[in-house]
Structure 1
Amino acid sequence: MAAAFRHWAHSDYVEGMSGHISVRDPEYPAAFWTNPLGVHFGLLCVSDMILVDFAGKVIGGDRTRPPNTAGFLIHSAIHQARPDVHAICHAHSIYGKAWSVFGKRLEMLTQDACKFFGQAQGVYSDYGGVVLGFEEGKRIAAALGPRGKGCIMRNHGILTVGQTVDEAAFLFTSMERSCQVQLLVDAAAAKGTPKLIIEDEEAMLNQEVEGDPEICYAEFQVYYNHIDRLHKGEFKE
């Protein structure tokens, strides 16, 4: 998780204190590890992380800082609604925010976008402001759906989930880039260039490979190894 945050810092996903990753604790499934409030992604280490239960109480890790309130409400709702989800990623990335203003699904424009084909992609089409209530978190979890891997949150940004931090983090980067591609393609299409959408059958076949949890885990290792070499393993402290 610390390596994923360092990767986010290099990818320019930082916007103040916004953004959070969580991973369900393997011993206490009704609690999850997440980042503390107000630490730059590029500085986060293993020792900074905090363990929070579903009531919002910090029960382990670094107790000097609280969790991000909005982050806790979103992540706790999804972890409770989806027992299969062990990790969740959300940040205020540029292209995810830009595409979110349309409140629309990503189209299957590229092989990479097919990770989010069909029920693997949800859209939260309402906007309730900064998430400061349990009900808003529950609505986002409902929009993600029982099989969602990623969710477009209108006027807010994107969110991804996975069986591991590595899977969820790779899906986040892939969804962010797919939003960028969608915006570029739509800009070209507005000038008269026709779009060619991948057919459903091919999109499903792509998803079976591109969206496989182990494949997504392996995809993230190139980022992990880059961060490990770049930071000389300092984030593991």
Structure 2
Amino acid sequence: MRAFDTFQSAAFADTLASLAAAFVLGTLIGAERQYRQRTAGLRTNVLVAVGAAAFVDLGMRIAGPVEAVRVIAYVVSGIGFLGAGVIMKEGMNVRGLNTAATLWCSAAVGCCTGADMLAEGTLLTLFVIAGNTLLRPLVNAINRIPLDEQSLEATYEVRLTTDQEALPTVREQLQEALEAAHYPAGDVIAHERAEDQVELVATLVSTAVDPREMDALVQRLAHLPGVEHATWETSTQG
């Protein structure tokens, strides 16, 4: 068989080391994503890293480093399509960008290990994990900084998740609660979601709000009958 003729123990050991390193490093990245309950968790990141490593290692084995560079280029574009699958647009919000970027980095880790650059792959893994964990407090701190209303135009939205049956009642209660809190809504839009769920998005007329008042208001809304989840957010235009 041709398989016996092409088998080389040294090359096989090299491939095993590359795939094993990709598996371990992908597990480290994916474990953090799984803990955060993200769309692409442990198994997805491991498979992306191992798959990228396998393709690059195959290119190295068959045609050498030059062909491996071409394979890496295709891996980068292929992961772009995979990452697009975890990005979701809900109303004015886009979710999953960080998860898609993490998948992209997992592929880069796999490419490093497939190219026998295990130290570089380990270093990249540390940077990816640091970016997803150590920067989180900084992001939260920045988000808490009060907006300068003189230089920014802020749009405030209140979001409630309910079901189709309770939608009319919840919509009316939402509008009444906002009026009573002196934060009237200029528009209330319903977005259908999976499993017969509907998200109500109320865009406030106000250009500035008191965060403590909004937190208290959202907490009251969350306890209304039929409301499964309530939150508020702000978006800005410089």
Class of the TM-score when normalised by the shorter of the 2 chains = under 0.3
Higher helix share: 2
Q: Which has the larger radius of gyration?
A: 2
Q: What's the TM-score, normalizing by structure 1?
A: 0.25
The structure, 1 or 2, with the larger RCO (C-alpha pairs under 8 Å, 6+ apart) is 1
Q: What's the TM-score, normalizing by structure 2?
A: 0.25
